Structure 1
């Protein structure tokens, strides 16, 4: 049974994990590492090129598509005991995080949802094996949205199969977009979706994360060739292609070439007859076994094309 809506060649799922929307310690690091004065000025004057949401929304509006933004309820470095501040692992996991109590974050979530972008859960680093933590995070995000969250993706692609999916399903999530790689890209022979429990819970495997591609600033043609190959493979196999682009990569000066690459990806997919949109919207269009036909969620605030 194909997961691709009728009259479309394949499906392209657009997702954005919201990890670090504030450029903080990175400016100081790059200023010292690369001797870039502009980075130091950003740090000193609190400039924040990683807040790319307005530009990203304008881009997707111009393309006539919507995507999913996955928000995280993770601890920050200041939440840890002081002795853990000297652990490099703590900096990797918790430095530069945001809070769901942040007024700007709350306003962003509500504004995106009001304009039909999907809001999903980016489960925190340890939540993939902690059902109670995952449930708290989901409920907190839903309290901001005032609506159910359909699905999301675990941070750092952390996954314990099938235990993580059992936790997600138990707390009321309907889909997961976690299984994939942070070092390689491709379908690996898997073109459809997974139903690990033969019910309404669905898994959308991750096809490509932007960091696994050649740098589009220095090797745009190679990056595009890789994506074009995936699109051709998706079309040939009636596939669901799930892509992840972190919002910070739409900061043009920090990550040149990514906006152009993302635009070309979406435009080409649309020209090829793809269904393009967020996973939640595709989920709502899936066909279901008769036994689970009454378990489908209501359709609210998630659009695709």
Structure 2
């Protein structure tokens, strides 16, 4: 179930809204990145043929890897004095894990092709480096794990072995969410926060202006305000996307909100997604000029815990 299906559930009803942050910042910005893939492979054909975006074939032909953007992101954020959360995925792979009848379904190229192994040397090195330098590492729960507590717990344990420490936060792949059951599974697995609640189709404060405590305890939900994909889909270029983002920043300022950004690491490649790296930087610099707090979901979780009565 996509989290869009749960949009009719009122925030502040059975789910307790966390109190606004008690500090001197007019609003707060959470930075996050979903690491769906670390290399473009056959799913590029899906984008080119099914979604009619032929430029996605270019990197398949020239041998480049536009998805490996970790140094680009960390350099940008370090230059601005901020840190973010990277959510790492452990998804099934089409030819190894899925039934043969699914191999010929084009949608499955997009969903299961080109997935990475979080325990591989290259990805392990990235995860360890991020953690060592102060970035927050979280779990990007696989497509089916939102209603499979055993799979979710196994994925968390695998990432913890790579990280050599406990993982606190999660975001479910494709924003799949069964409220509140998925959160119960996450909490049972030892996770302390989730940032799945949001939309794959629209941007905005659809779930209120503040984090949510669905069980009125230490488990916290950070709703997504802006994800790159729906922002691109509803904008005619980067200039229009900035108009949308600027309006959301103004709304955050007026309501003392927590504004959570989800920028997949692949969109930091300027050839494939021109302007979106600069848009991300502009959002951060605008918030900093306002005196807003900017950081990772994990950092904001700690602040919320410190401020709780």
Given the two structures, how large is their TM-score scaled by the length of structure 2? 0.87
Q: Deviation of residue 218 (structure 1)?
A: 5.4
Q: Measure the CA separation in 2 of the matches of 1:256 and 1:176.
A: 30
Q: Which runs of 5+ in 1 are unaligned?
A: 294-305
Q: Greater shift after overlay, 141-150 or 88-97?
A: 88-97
- Taking structure 1 as reference, are residues 92 and 35 closer, same or farther at Cα in structure 2, changes over 3 Å only? closer
Q: 1:199 to 1:95 in 2, by over 3 A?
A: same
* Maintained 8 Å contact 2:43/2:110: no
Aligned: 1:222 with 2:224: no
Map 1:33-182 onto structure 2 (within 5 A): 39-40=57-58, 42-44=59-61, 46-79=63-96, 80-182=98-200
1:298 corresponds in structure 2 to none
229 and 136 in structure 1: CA distance in 2 versus 1, 3 angstrom threshold: same
Q: Which runs of 4+ in 1 moved over 4 A?
A: 26-36, 214-218, 287-290
Give the conservation status (yes or no) of the 8 Å contact 2:29–2:294: yes
Residues 1:231 and 1:35: Cα distance change in structure 2 (over 3 Å): closer
Q: Does 1:202 align with 2:249?
A: no
Q: What is the CA distance between 1:85 and its match in structure 2?
A: 1.1
Tell me which residue corresponds to 1:296: none
Q: How far, CA to CA, are the matches of 1:288 and 1:28 in structure 2? A: 48
Deviation string, structure 1 residues 136-192 (Cα, Å, up to 9, x no partner): 000000001111111120000000001001000000000110011111011136111
Give the SS at the match of 2:122. helix
Which stretch of the first structure deviates more once superposed, 187-196 or 237-246? 187-196
Aligned residues: 289
- Post-superposition CA distance 1:34-86 (Å, at most 9, x none): 666x945x325532111111111111111111000000111112213433211
Residue 38 of structure 2 is matched in structure 1 by: 21
Contact 1:215/1:223 (<8 A) preserved: no
Equivalent pair of 2:207/2:223 in contact (CA under 8 Å): no
3-state SS of 1:183 partner? coil
Relative distance call for 1:206 and 1:27 in structure 2 (3 A) is closer
What's the offset of the Cα at 1:208?
A: 1.1
- SS of equivalent to 1:86: coil
In the aligned structure 1, how far is the partner of 2:264 from the partner of 2:227? Answer: 8
TM-score normalised according to structure 1 size: 0.88
For 1:77 and 1:29, the matched residues in 2 are separated by 14
In the alignment, the residues of structure 1 paired with residue 43 and residue 290 of structure 2 have an alpha-carbon distance, to the nearest angstrom, of 39
TM-fit CA distance, 1:103: 1.4
Corresponding residue for 1:183?
Answer: 201
Deviation (angstroms), 1:91? 1.5
